[in-house]
């Protein structure tokens, strides 16, 4: 069992229950690279400032580099009984290089150390999340290119409203996902400031160079308030919020796919590789990936609520409650990445059924607004045109007709402004082509 970093004050060993409850190694062990990166920058600065000798600085550098290589190769296994990754790395370093390893923590606290590690880790995760979102945008773009002229009903209130292009519909999700990328990039920019050198809360009496360590670690600057530096988890909350919005968008897209591949819609077919069957119903092809994405949205929302609740009542500066930050934000990041990994191939291999889409668009009088616009174009006020067309639709429903099959005599009985060209005006293609959204969707 490694000695605790805080062991000097205590006359007896902590109880096993205390150790187990206090331990975070199972969660924070994934930050071993970031912990070693931060320690390398800190040690180099200590040596440069003459706070430790250059010989000790070199020994620390070599020792940490070997520990990193050994963990990555599997030669060194992280001790599950260690208190946290910071304790494990420092203890392993000291075991390897002796007293020089004990000098690494000079001018540093675990409070600023963990805040640094977490910012470094999440900065890298933001890059991976952005790449995943870009891959999904590309899959949607590919699907739009495959079906550039497919017409489908657009919906409001889940009722057929107006005809749109399938490509228009998918473009809406591309726009949502691009905003998600923007939010994650904004979060990455705000989290990219260094807390290192803040100590436990009040800074340090050593003549350290915070700007040097910030620059070495790729931070844009240092946090001015040392109390805020160790007590801030806004960046976790902000990223959790951005990821929650990502999951809203993925859940909405999943819901549409679930509807579209049902027999009631039959707008798309999912590839067999990304569906499952039933244990007793041999005809079933279930959109389980889409359903799981939809379900996992609640998990990410819960992570965000955990972060908000954890922080809402904490006085400055660091409190142990904040150890719970990593379980929540890591789970949110992992879940979103997992959902993106599932969504990309599901969308890329999805096959649209344009004939079924068009058949649905031909029903439901989704060209009624265009019929009213026809009258407006001939000088009738819109509200009068709206009323006339509404009465025509009611007549068509009662007689089993559509606006395309309604006899011209009935049109003229409703308004003398109707002419033979009304039939060309209310075709689905004409309705779609005259709208600006069609040009926007196709670039």
Query: Average pLDDT for residues 361-369, to the nearest whole number?
Result: 92
The parent domain of residue 63 ranges over 7-106
CATH assignment of the domain containing 84:
1.10.275.10
pLDDT of residue 373: 96
Note the pLDDT tens digit of each residue in 408-428. Answer: 999 999 999 999 999 999 999
Query: Average pLDDT for residues 285-298, to the nearest whole number?
Result: 96
CATH assignment of the domain containing 381:
1.10.40.30
Note the pLDDT tens digit of each residue in 30-89. Answer: 999 999 999 999 999 999 999 999 999 999 999 999 999 999 999 999 999 999 999 999
Residue 387 has pLDDT above 70, yes or no: yes
Tell me, yes or no, whether 67 and 189 share the same domain: no
The phi and psi torsions of 202 (rounded to 5 degrees) equal: -110, 15
Tell me, yes or no, whether 378 and 236 share the same domain: no
Residue 338 has pLDDT above 90, yes or no: yes
Residue 443 has pLDDT above 60, yes or no: no
Interhelix angle 325-348/110-146, nearest 10 degrees: 10
Tell me, yes or no, whether 175 and 258 share the same domain: yes
pLDDT of residue 170: 98
pLDDT of residue 438: 59
| 79 contacts 86 by C-beta, under 8 angstroms | no
Take residue 286 and report the two structure tokens written for it. Answer: 């279930």
Tell me, yes or no, whether 179 and 300 share the same domain: yes
pLDDT of residue 441: 57
> Per the residue annotation, which of 73, 157, 279, 436 is the catalytic one?
157
Strand partners, 160: 155
| 17 contacts 23 by C-beta, under 8 angstroms | no
Work out the percent of the chain whose per-residue pLDDT is above 90: 89
Burial group, residue 38, by CB count within 10 angstroms (0-12, 13-18, 19+)? buried
- 94/437: higher pLDDT: 94
Tell me, yes or no, whether 69 and 117 share the same domain: no
Angle subtended at Cα 383 by Cα 396 and Cα 359, rounded to the nearest 5 degrees? 35
Per the domain annotation, does 442 fall within a domain?
A: no
Arithmetic mean of pLDDT over the chain: 94
> Per the residue annotation, which of 278, 297, 410, 415 is the catalytic one?
278
pLDDT band for 229, please (50, 70, 90 cuts): very high
Tell me, yes or no, whether 267 and 186 share the same domain: yes
Residue 319 has pLDDT above 70, yes or no: yes
Cα distances (Å, whole numbers) of residue 322 to 20, 105, 151, 240: 17, 21, 52, 15
pLDDT of residue 4: 55
CB-based contacts of 161, cutoff 8 Å, min separation 6 = 153, 154, 155, 366
pLDDT band for 442, please (50, 70, 90 cuts): low
With CA atoms as reference, report the closest residue to 226 among 205, 254, 256, 257.
205
Per the domain annotation, does 161 fall within a domain?
A: yes
154-168, 280-294, 328-342, 400-414: least confidently modelled range:
280-294
Tell me, yes or no, whether 254 and 279 share the same domain: yes
Q: What is the pTM of this model?
A: 0.91
Note the pLDDT tens digit of each residue in 80-128. Answer: 999 999 999 999 999 999 999 999 999 999 999 999 999 999 999 999 9
Query: Average pLDDT for residues 129-147, to the nearest whole number?
Result: 98
Q: Which residue has the tokens 């657009």?
A: 154
pLDDT of residue 381: 97
Take residue 367 and report the two structure tokens written for it. Answer: 């060209």
Number of other CB atoms surrounding residue 313 within 10 Å: 8
Is 157 catalytic? The answer is: yes
Is 278 catalytic? The answer is: yes
Per the domain annotation, does 157 fall within a domain?
A: yes
Residue ranges of alpha helices (H) inside 161-283 are 166-191, 210-216, 226-231, 234-260
Does a cis peptide bond (omega within 30 degrees of 0) precede residue 317? yes
Per the domain annotation, does 312 fall within a domain?
A: yes
Tell me, yes or no, whether 299 and 336 share the same domain: yes
CATH assignment of the domain containing 164:
1.20.200.10
Work out the percent of the chain whose per-residue pLDDT is above 70: 94
pLDDT of residue 6: 47
Residue 180 has pLDDT above 70, yes or no: yes
Query: Average pLDDT for residues 357-386, to the nearest whole number?
Result: 95
Residue 225 has pLDDT above 70, yes or no: yes
Query: Average pLDDT for residues 195-202, to the nearest whole number?
Result: 98
Give the sign of the dihedral formed by CA 48, CA 50, CA 55, CA 58. negative
Last residue of a domain, one of 49, 73, 106: 106
Per the domain annotation, does 166 fall within a domain?
A: yes
Last residue of a domain, one of 313, 340, 359: 359
Tell me, yes or no, whether 217 and 257 share the same domain: yes
Tell me, yes or no, whether 223 and 143 share the same domain: yes
Tell me, yes or no, whether 249 and 267 share the same domain: yes
Provide DSSP, 26-65: HHHGGGHHHHHHHHHHHHHHHHHTTSS-HHHHHHHHHHHH
Per the domain annotation, does 433 fall within a domain?
A: no
Per the domain annotation, does 432 fall within a domain?
A: no
Number of structural domains found in the chain? 3
Last residue of a domain, one of 106, 129, 147: 106
Per the domain annotation, does 147 fall within a domain?
A: yes
Cα separation, 201 vs 62, whole angstroms: 30
Tell me, yes or no, whether 149 and 164 share the same domain: yes
């Amino acid at each position: 069992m490694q000695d605790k970093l805080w062991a000097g004050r205590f006359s007896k060993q902590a109880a096993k229950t205390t150790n187990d409850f206090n331990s975070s190694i199972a969660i924070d062990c994934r930050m071993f690279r970031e912990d070693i990166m931060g320690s390398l920058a800190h040690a180099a600065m200590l040596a440069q400032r003459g706070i430790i000798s250059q010989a000790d600085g070199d020994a620390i550098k070599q020792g940490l580099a070997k520990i990193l290589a050994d963990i990555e190769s599997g030669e060194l296994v992280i001790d599950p009984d260690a208190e946290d990754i910071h304790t494990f790395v420092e203890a392993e370093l000291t075991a390897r290089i002796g007293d020089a390893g004990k000098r690494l923590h000079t001018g540093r606290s675990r409070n600023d150390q963990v805040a640094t590690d977490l910012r470094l880790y999440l900065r890298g995760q933001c890059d991976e999340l952005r790449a995943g979102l870009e891959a999904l945008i590309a899959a949607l773009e590919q699907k739009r290119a495959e079906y550039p002229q497919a017409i489908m009903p657009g919906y409001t209130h889940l009722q057929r409203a107006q005809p749109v292009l399938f490509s228009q519909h998918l473009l809406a999700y591309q726009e949502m996902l691009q905003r998600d990328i923007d939010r994650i990039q904004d979060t990455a920019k705000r989290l990219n400031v260094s807390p290192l050198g803040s100590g436990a809360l009040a800074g340090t009496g050593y003549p350290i160079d915070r700007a040097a360590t910030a620059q070495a670690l790729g931070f844009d600057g240092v946090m001015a308030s040392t109390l805020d530096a160790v007590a801030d988890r806004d960046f976790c909350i902000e990223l959790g919020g951005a990821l929650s919005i990502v999951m809203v968008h993925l859940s909405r897209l999943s819901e549409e796919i679930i509807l579209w591949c049902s027999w009631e819609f039959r707008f798309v077919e999912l590839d067999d590789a990304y569906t499952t069957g039933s244990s007793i119903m041999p005809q079933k092809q279930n959109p389980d990936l889409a359903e799981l994405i939809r379900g996992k949205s609640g998990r990410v929302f819960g992570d965000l609520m955990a972060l908000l609740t954890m922080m809402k009542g904490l006085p400055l500066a660091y409190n142990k409650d904040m150890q719970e930050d990593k379980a929540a934000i890591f789970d949110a990041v992992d879940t979103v990445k997992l959902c993106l990994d599932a969504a990309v191939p599901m969308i890329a291999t999805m096959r649209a059924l344009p004939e079924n889409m068009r058949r649905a668009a031909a029903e439901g009088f989704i060209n009624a607004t265009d019929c009213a616009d026809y009258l407006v174009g001939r000088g009738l006020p819109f509200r009068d045109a709206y009323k006339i067309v509404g009465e025509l639709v009611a007549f068509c429903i009662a007689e089993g007709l559509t606006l395309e099959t309604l006899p011209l005599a009935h049109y003229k009985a409703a308004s003398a402004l109707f002419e033979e060209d009304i039939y060309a005006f209310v075709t689905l293609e004409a309705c779609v082509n005259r709208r600006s959204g069609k040009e926007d969707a196709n670039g």
